[in-house]
Chains A and B, each alone.
Chain A
Amino acid sequence: MRDFSYLRADNIEAARNAAALPGAMLLAGGTTLVDLAKCGVAEPATVIDISHIEGLAAIDVGADRAIIGALAKMSHVADHAGVKSLFPAVSEALWQAASAQLRNMATIGGNLMQRTRCPYFRDPQNFPACNKRAPGSGCSAIGGVTRGHAVLGTSEACIATYPGDLAIALVAFDAEVDLGGRKLKVEDFFLAPGATAEREHDIHPGEVITAIEIPGSAAARRSTYIKVRDRQSYEFAAASAAVGLELEGDGRTIRDIRVALGGVATRPWRARAVEDALKGKTLAEDTVRKASELAMQGAVDHGANHYKIALGPRVIARAILKLGATA
């Protein structure tokens, strides 16, 4: 790890000012920054510790919306009674992420800034080519070991999978990220690689995430997050789905549905084609399975990750049918 200087910010203004310094990086839970500094991926000149700022960890949940402070810990949000009852998919995405220790460290704001687990990205010594780390240097993953790589939202520059869980649920329920001066949809906060794989988030120097805001809805109240992986726990998703469902009074007709996919795309992936195909339809297994296939429109595999094209829709269908069965 390169040496760096350490500054502790006592308030958000100080954090913003310090974050604008060249080579400055914000430290909250440390689970991404310290990890990537050890890998040689992050090389901060100055680390700005924002974890001691007070008043940024509040969790405020109502039927109309949840506002979660950027420094709230993943574990606290996962266990929050209001989140569990009004936004179950958010709680489920959180408790299935990482491990209990990491969730006690990682903050909600930091979680949005989590970087890909692409093994080529994480190993600059052995794989110098990576457009995320060194724009224009190429992509070591293409043509390499791609079992975990994305099939949606990829480009010639990058096929790295977005690894997180929480953001999948946030995207499904139209959550917004509050950057202090401006707010934007979480879905827009995450950028597809395109030709600029190094830009993963719509955030500028000096900006600090202060909160996320999730609008309440009937679909959010009846929601779930299903995560599929070889290992039962402590593994990133092979594929995951956050789904919310609202039925008409007949208990069979879909009034509102939200679908987002994780583990298969370069960014949290809202599957609107699936939603559109199911709105107004009667909930039935074959309808659901067929519609779920639409999530993979435009999918491109790189051999070893081909299975994700089959797996993604099955996870979506399972989540929808599970919610339908809990009427």
Chain B
Amino acid sequence: MNDQVTTSPTTLSLHLTINGRDHALEIEPRVTLLDALRDRLHLTGTKKGCDQGQCGACTVHVDGERVLACLTLAAQVEGRSITTIEGLADQDGTLNAVQAAFLEQDAFQCGYCTPGQIMSAVACIREGHAGSDEEIREYMAGNLCRCGAYPHIVAAVRQAAQELRS
């Protein structure tokens, strides 16, 4: 067995801005934003479902737009503003309208896809893609939910969109 700890010579020093805070990281270039969040920064609210861009569980916002953290290299988003589920509620703990609607509508069961659903829903509303149930369904289709909370997710997005409009 090789018990020597070796580090790659290609380690990068990065600064990531996550939820308004600066985080310093020493990581290899191949580390994805998802693994940086979960394994290095202990921000485990962002979930790993497939790790290959096929489920949406790792959805975060980069410069306000929803993207998949599993197909984003951490190095690539240095200098950008990253928001994760942990940064969505107000500082005082007041829930985002989407979070509150998810709870009220019971828009989740196991909760594993939920942070990604919520991040996606916040962006979906902001993009103007929550105009009808049909549009919500299509624009939330990138977030798989195996518990089958879809009808309640649609109801929650509809409700939050209405609240945010009024």
Contacts and interface: CB of A to CB of B under 8 A. Distances in A.
Given A49-B76, A52-B79, A105-B72, A38 B129 contact: no
Given A52-B79, A99-B142, A101-B56, A47 B29 contact: yes
B103 interface: no
A233 B138 CA distance: 7
B29 A5 contact: yes
Size bracket, chain A contacts: 20 to 34
Nearest to A95: B138
B68 A37 contact: no
- Helix, strand, loop or mixed for chain A's interface? mixed
A35 B76 contact: no
Contacts of A105: 67-68, 71-72
Nearest to A105: B67
B154 to A, nearest CB: 13
Interface in B51-72: 51-53, 56, 59, 65-68, 70-72
B94 interface: no
- Helix, strand, loop or mixed for chain B's interface? mixed
Contacts of A98: 142
A4 B10 CA distance: 8
Contacts of A38: 51-52
Interface in A252-309: none
A35 B141 CA distance: 20
Interface string B3-38: 000001010100000000000000011101000000
B124 A100 contact: yes
A3 B71 contact: no
Contact of A30 (B10, B73, B127): B73
A75 B127 CA distance: 10
B123 interface: yes
Contacts of B46: none
A234 interface: yes
B76 A51 contact: yes
A47 B142 contact: no
B84 interface: no
Contact of A102 (B68, B73, B76, B129): B68
The 8 A-B residue pairs whose C-beta atoms are closest, nearest first, are A99-B142, A6-B29, A233-B141, A34-B71, A104-B65, A105-B67, A234-B141, A101-B68
